[in-house]
């Protein structure tokens, strides 16, 4: 009876996994079918490398959006990753238990806040602050990067903290036995051992940032041009789709689906890095 019950559960779980794979495949196929016509009509080079996005004139170059997405994402990583890893180290190694119990729910709350709320915060606080401090309109790469840096903090902190806590206690005790201080142990033993998990947290944070839409739309400025500095407005791939899909038709709509294909490929590559990079770090 128990074996029959286990076999039934196994088949249900297998069907669930196959259903998830099927859904991903159907979504991928749908996006490909809808987006391929404009690529076939205008050429992949025109679409990916073109610098002008004027759908009414048949110009569908998404290079400014590709560059904008990566600039905003790397800006978010540059601002958010050091704080995230530092917070993870503090929670795992230095914070007293009562402080950990206070801080961890707050970090988890950050992950549950809707992205539009982050957008409102950026619109009301960051944009005027940047405008008053640096000049310009305030809607910029910097504003979008700061908002995304805050949004990726829970991902970086939680995964990095888990990786640090997973380091065998014997490593830490051995370092102390050799006369190392607590910080020396963290720097020379714990972090190198946990670096695979830390790298995974960074890659996941990058995927979270590059796929964000609403918060970026509200603070980035949404100009279809390659930004010359962190104070220039920018439009990302996700923002391009969200802003124009409501009224697009014909080649314009197909171009937006093709933009989705590019974004889908980028996300797939990042997911591939999650499995590839940690293995290389471990091997080294």
Domain with 158, as residue range(s), is 63-283
State the pLDDT at residue 284. 41
Q: Is 21 exposed, middle or buried (0-12, 13-18, 19+ CB in 10 A)?
A: exposed
Whether residue 6 sits in one domain with residue 83: no
What percent of the residues of the chain are helix, what percent strand, and what percent coil, each to the nearest 5? 80, 0, 20
Domain membership flag for residue 93: yes
- Asked if 144 and 230 count as a contact pair (C-beta separation under 8 A), the reply is no
Whether residue 112 sits in one domain with residue 239: yes
Q: Which of 157, 155, 183, 156 is nearest to 103 (CA)?
A: 157
State the pLDDT at residue 74. 93
pTM for the model stands at 0.85
Whether residue 11 sits in one domain with residue 75: no
Domain membership flag for residue 55: no
Domain membership flag for residue 58: no
State the pLDDT at residue 149. 94
- Asked if 244 and 15 count as a contact pair (C-beta separation under 8 A), the reply is no
Domain membership flag for residue 75: yes
pLDDT category at 278 given cuts 50, 70, 90 is low
Phi and psi angles of residue 242, each rounded to the nearest 5 degrees, phi first: -65, -35
Whether residue 73 sits in one domain with residue 43: no
Domain membership flag for residue 54: no
CA 210 to CA 148: how far, in whole Å? 9
Whether residue 208 sits in one domain with residue 161: yes
pLDDT tens-place string over residues 31-77: 888 888 888 888 888 888 888 888 888 788 889 999 999 999 999 99
Whether residue 274 sits in one domain with residue 166: yes
CA 179 to CA 218: how far, in whole Å? 52
Domain membership flag for residue 29: yes
State the pLDDT at residue 112. 85
Whether residue 133 sits in one domain with residue 23: no
Whether residue 140 sits in one domain with residue 92: yes
Which sign does the torsion angle of CA 100, 102, 108, 111 carry?
A: negative
Whether residue 91 sits in one domain with residue 24: no
Domain membership flag for residue 56: no
Whether residue 145 sits in one domain with residue 42: no
Question: Which residues, in sequence order, are CB contacts of 110 under 8 Å at separation 6+?
Answer: 150, 151, 153, 154
State the pLDDT at residue 124. 92
Whether residue 201 sits in one domain with residue 227: yes
Q: How many domains does the chain have?
A: 2
Whether residue 221 sits in one domain with residue 171: yes
Instruction: Identify any residues that bridge with 221 across adjacent strands, giving them in sequence order.
Output: 234
Q: Which of 224, 202, 226, 223 is nearest to 149 (CA)?
A: 202
pLDDT tens-place string over residues 126-170: 999 999 888 878 888 999 999 999 999 999 999 999 999 988 888
- Asked if 210 and 259 count as a contact pair (C-beta separation under 8 A), the reply is no
pLDDT category at 2 given cuts 50, 70, 90 is low
Instruction: Identify any residues that bridge with 54 across adjacent strands, giving them in sequence order.
Output: 59
DSSP state of 211: T
């Amino acid at each position: 009876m128990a074996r029959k019950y286990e076999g039934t559960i196994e088949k249900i779980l297998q069907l669930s996994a196959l259903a998830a794979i099927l859904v991903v495949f159907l979504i991928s196929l749908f996006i490909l079918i809808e987006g391929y016509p404009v690529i076939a009509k205008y050429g992949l080079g025109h679409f990916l490398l073109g610098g002008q996005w004027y759908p009414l004139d048949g110009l569908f170059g998404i290079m400014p959006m590709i560059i904008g997405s990566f600039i905003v994402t790397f800006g978010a990583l540059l601002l958010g990753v050091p704080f995230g890893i530092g917070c993870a180290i503090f929670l795992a190694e230095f914070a007293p238990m009562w402080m950990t119990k206070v801080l961890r729910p707050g970090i988890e709350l950050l992950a549950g806040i809707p992205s539009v709320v982050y957008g409102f915060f950026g619109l009301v606080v960051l944009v005027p602050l940047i405008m008053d401090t640096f000049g310009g309109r305030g809607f910029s790469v910097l504003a979008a990067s700061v908002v995304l840096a805050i949004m990726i903090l829970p991902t970086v902190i939680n995964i990095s903290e888990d990786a640090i806590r997973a380091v065998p206690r014997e490593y830490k005790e051995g370092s102390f036995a050799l006369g190392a201080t607590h910080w020396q142990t963290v720097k020379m033993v714990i972090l190198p051992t946990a670096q695979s998990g830390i790298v995974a947290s960074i890659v996941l944070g990058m995927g979270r940032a590059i796929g964000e839409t609403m918060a970026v739309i509200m603070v980035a400025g949404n100009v279809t041009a390659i930004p010359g500095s962190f104070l220039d407005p920018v439009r990302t791939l996700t923002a391009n789709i969200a802003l124009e899909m409501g009224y697009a038709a014909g080649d314009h709509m197909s171009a937006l689906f093709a933009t989705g294909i590019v974004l889908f490929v980028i996300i797939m590559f990042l997911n591939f890095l999650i499995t590839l990079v940690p293995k290389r770090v471990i091997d080294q």
